[in-house]
Amino acid sequence: MPASVKIPATFTAVDKFSHVIKGMGREIRNMTRTGISHIKRFDHRVSQTFKKLGRLTQLALGVGLGALFLNAVDDIKTFETNLVGVGKTTGMAGAELYQLGQDTIAASKTLRGIETNKLLELGMVAGQLGITGSKNILNFSTTLAKLEKATDIVGEEGASSIARLLNITGEGPAQVDRFGASLVALGNSTAATESQILAVASEVGRATAAYKLNSREILGVSAALADMGVAPEAAGTAIAKTFMGIEKATISGGKMLTRYAKLMGMSAKETKDLFATDKQATFNKLIGGLNKIQKEGGSVTKAMDDIGLSGIILNKGIIPLVSNYDKLEGKLKLANDEYKRNQALNEETAAASKTVQTGLDEVAKSFANVLTSSATAGSGLDIVRETLFFIADNMETVVALGAVLLGSFIALKVATGIISAIEVATKLWTGAQWLLNIAMDANPIGLIIIAVAALVALIVGAIQKYDEWGAALLNFMGPIGILINLFMSFKRHWDSIVEAFQTEGIVGGIKRIGQVIWDSMLYPLEQFLRMVSKIPGVGKIAQRSLAFVSAARQMNNLNQPGEFAEDRVEPVDSPAVNQAQSDAQTRAAMLNGTVNLNIKDPGNHVEKATSEGPMPIPINISNTQGAF
């Protein structure tokens, strides 16, 4: 039998654990105090702010902002529809159409009380009337919008009349702003409105289309006729017959041309030459000659009969001009002067915009323009369209996010209501940490082993009871708990992730991963709220938040049958029960089992020293110290 040898030995344990535990304790206490402080401060500020605002003020502010936002969203939708409509009527597309939209927004910003969508609506009308080119369309729509603001000319009918007149005169849409200025100046100087003048001008323009009068001449004659109450049809007929009479006389010559020339105070040749170069001047000469006869006491009707201009309708249109020849000349001069100055319409629009209603409209318009500009900047309407499509395709996520945010605000009040409970828990943790620190100061290796085992057991227990209380507990264990929750969330939903990649492609798979990451926060929160909801006094408040969180998880298809303990019924001899018992035994073994020491000295005198226990825990030590 070998001799028994006693080996004196000194074991030195280097404590690298206590300061870590102490540090964790300090961080948890600081985090808790800071979190409670922030919650109290935020809740105080929210409460004070809402106390300062009366309920009626809050309601009015909320309704006003809500209405403003909804109106702006509606404007964005209308903007897209109208811009597409402009593209259809004008043939514009791509970058050119996008730039027209941005230019229209910019133009609207300079026009008081005139909305961007009104300009686009008029742009569609311009396209329907054959107006082309971004500059011409914008000039046309801007002018018509000003006329609607400052005069009684409205809608597609007025736009059509103006476009046709400019086509008849050959001036085209590029001169529409000058035409509008002349029209407004004439409207301000007569008893007739702008729409009445335009109605007469439409008839006169058609009647004189063959004679190539310009828009100022047509507007001047029409303003004089409208001021004297001549109906549009009568005016058009009278002017047409007069021009045709002069033309016929210059062509046939003879006595009829001589009679016209005598009334005008010119020779037959001068009359013919003048009509060939300036038909409006020839007409004015004829009216002036008839006016002279009237002033001298002669018969205007007989003079007209002598040159073949007779009839009731003709007399209704021409004789008023004869009687008011000075007015005719004044209107023609005013139309021509304002055409050059081009300011009457702008001045009238500015005057019409000095109202409270225009100010209110301007606020709404500016807000809508900012949103519309932002929504359409960069890549045009594609951003707006694709964003809306994305929201539509992912509505369940959007709704879930909104619900969670709303639930979070409610949870804030829950947290405020149970702050005292959190403070008590913090003090308990502080006390426990203090006791643990004292134990660590003793530095026995056995306590270190027990502490580590307890920490491991706590984590293992949280994982084993993950669907009962583990997820909520892990959420309060800092980064390691968050990582475990994230891992468990992926583990629980792994099959759905694989299925998403297989059935919905990469985009669907990535979307599902995002939902699973989101659930790593939602599921512990739901579990925590379920437990808090059972606490008297705060249960009802917690239940409201719980409803939002649960709904959010359901909308994203994240909930699983029987995932909470209260939702499951396990048989007594089920594998789950057996596993739970095995886990309990394992944790007991880790805490109560003895330690195996495997010690080898350089002389190999002592090969092994063992102790029995249900779960030996190996310990690595340095070389044996001491002597034989």
Q: What is the average pLDDT value for the chain, to the nearest integer?
A: 75
Res 302 pLDDT > 50: yes
Res 568 pLDDT > 70: no
Residue with tokens 């001068």: 270
Average pLDDT over residues 37-44: 62
Higher pLDDT, 339 or 409: 339
Where is average pLDDT lowest: 504-508, 536-540, 576-580, 618-622?
618-622
- 3-state DSSP assignment of residue 628: coil
544-556 pLDDT, tens per residue? Answer: 677 777 777 877 7
Contact 493, 519 (CB under 8 A): yes
Res 504 pLDDT > 70: yes
What is the predicted pLDDT for the residue at 624?
A: 45
d(CA 343, CA 183): 11
Contact 321, 287 (CB under 8 A): yes
What is the predicted pLDDT for the residue at 196?
A: 96
What is the predicted pLDDT for the residue at 174?
A: 92
d(CA 542, CA 366): 43
The Cβ of residue 481 has, within 10 Å, a number of other Cβ atoms equal to 19
| Contact partners, residue 8, CB within 8 Å, separation at least 6 | 626, 627
Report the greatest alpha carbon distance in the chain.
Answer: 167
Tell me the H-state helices in 1-54.
18-52
pTM reported for the whole predicted model: 0.52
212-228 pLDDT, tens per residue? Answer: 999 999 999 999 999 99
Res 527 pLDDT > 70: yes
d(CA 536, CA 534): 6
What is the predicted pLDDT for the residue at 492?
A: 81
What share of residues in the chain are helix, strand, coil (percent, to 5)?
Answer: 75, 0, 20
Angle between helices 215-227 and 155-169 (to 10 degrees): 130
Residue with tokens 């599902």: 512
Contact 12, 623 (CB under 8 A): no
What is the predicted pLDDT for the residue at 554?
A: 76
- Work out whether the CA dihedral 419, 424, 427, 433 comes out positive or negative: negative
Distances (CA, A) of 198 to 73, 187, 193, 226, 299: 37, 10, 9, 9, 32
What is the predicted pLDDT for the residue at 465?
A: 77
Contact 142, 181 (CB under 8 A): no
Higher pLDDT, 366 or 60: 366
d(CA 85, CA 83): 5
131-156 pLDDT, tens per residue? Answer: 999 999 999 999 999 999 999 998 78
Distances (CA, A) of 148 to 184, 186, 537: 11, 16, 64
Res 59 pLDDT > 60: no
- 3-state DSSP assignment of residue 609: strand
What is the predicted pLDDT for the residue at 291?
A: 96
Question: Phi/psi at 436 (nearest 5 deg)?
Answer: -65, -40
Residue with tokens 């606020």: 363
Angle between helices 268-277 and 232-252 (to 10 degrees): 130
The Cβ of residue 79 has, within 10 Å, a number of other Cβ atoms equal to 26
Where is average pLDDT lowest: 143-152, 440-449, 505-514, 610-619?
610-619
- Work out whether the CA dihedral 62, 64, 66, 69 comes out positive or negative: negative
Average pLDDT over residues 381-395: 57
What confidence tier does 320 reach under pLDDT thresholds 50, 70, 90? very high
The two three-digit tokens of residue 113, written as one number? 């009380």
